[in-house]
Amino acid sequence: MSPRSTNPSGASRMRRRALLGTAVLVVLVALAGLAAYLTRDGRNSSKAPEPQVSSASPSSPSASASASSPPHGNRGDLPVPPSTHDPITFGMAAAAALWSYDTRAYSQHELLAALRGWLTSETKYADTASVDGLVPSRVLWKEMAANGQFATAKVNEAHFPDSFTQALQADPGAITTAYVYAVTVSGKQSIAWNGSPHGGTENRVTTLAIQCRPSRPCALAGVLSAVAP
């Protein structure tokens, strides 16, 4: 048994991760009923537009603004979550935020605090550790800052995983428990630093758990440990 498993805080994180995973598995059977829920009897139709079931790409100006970080050479601002009821739109923006950083513009602590602001206020569904784990450690951040390193992101596409859309049809009402959606996002991360303005670029793909209750805008629940195609 690993030391982490005997640590109370570690065990708590593991339980939270398991709960998040369970919530996502549960909502795999609920997406098909979302449109009906949002539109039936006109309830919440003006506040919660029907999510896109097909894949989406940031081709429109509004989507591009939400899903892409500042271009190379510009000092990035801390990421701010969009106000939307669409898990696809929120997932694209969240992925761009998670794949971006700028050691020239803010500290590691400030970035951590900003990203935690994307998380749902429902602590039992908020997997903070999965988000914190994507931010470089303080020691590494200090080394990166010495070189002026920064990363920008461009989201190419986002969609509900096939397993999500297929399994949802079995129980349309299941989503009303947690309203957590799995959203898989793909794109590119570009890294640059002093003396290397173009740096390098690599493909990125991740599956996020997004909570979108009809009564309030979407929030991030966590980052899944494995990508759901």
Cβ atoms of 226 and 206 within 8 Å: the answer is no
User: pLDDT (tens digit, 0 to 9) for every residue of the chain, 229 residues total?
Assistant: 444 444 555 555 555 555 555 555 444 433 333 333 222 333 333 333 333 333 454 433 334 334 555 544 556 799 999 999 999 999 999 999 999 999 999 999 999 999 999 999 999 999 999 999 999 999 999 999 999 999 999 999 999 998 877 767 777 777 788 999 999 999 999 999 998 877 899 999 999 999 999 999 999 999 998 999 8
Instruction: Please report, for residues 48, 85, 176, 218, 229, the alpha-carbon distance to residue 215 in angstroms, rounded to integers and kept in the order given.
Output: 8, 9, 12, 10, 29
Determine the Cα–Cα distance for residues 171 and 164; give it in Å rounded to an integer.
12
The predicted pLDDT at position 52 comes to 39
CA 66 to chain CA mean position, Å: 12
Both structure tokens of 215: 């009564």
CA 79 to chain CA mean position, Å: 12
Cβ atoms of 25 and 31 within 8 Å: the answer is no
Instruction: Please report, for residues 12, 62, 175, the alpha-carbon distance to residue 7 in angstroms, rounded to integers and kept in the order given.
Output: 9, 45, 33
HSE-CB at 41 with a 13 A cutoff on CA atoms is 2
Both structure tokens of 75: 């000092």
Both structure tokens of 154: 């461009």
Q: According to the 3-state scheme, what is the secondary structure of the chain?
A: CCHHHHCHHHHHHHHHHHHHHHHHHHHCCCHHHHHHHHHHHHCCCCCCCCCCCCCECCCCHHHHHHHECCCCCCCCCCCCCCCCCCHHHHHHHHHHHHCCEECCCCCHHHHHHHHHCCECCCHHHCCHHHHHCCCCCHHHHHHHHHCCCEEEEEEEEEECCHHHHHHHCCCCCHHHCCCEEEEEEEEEEEEEECCEEEEEEEEEEEEEEEECCCCCCCEEEEECCCCCC
The predicted pLDDT at position 117 comes to 97
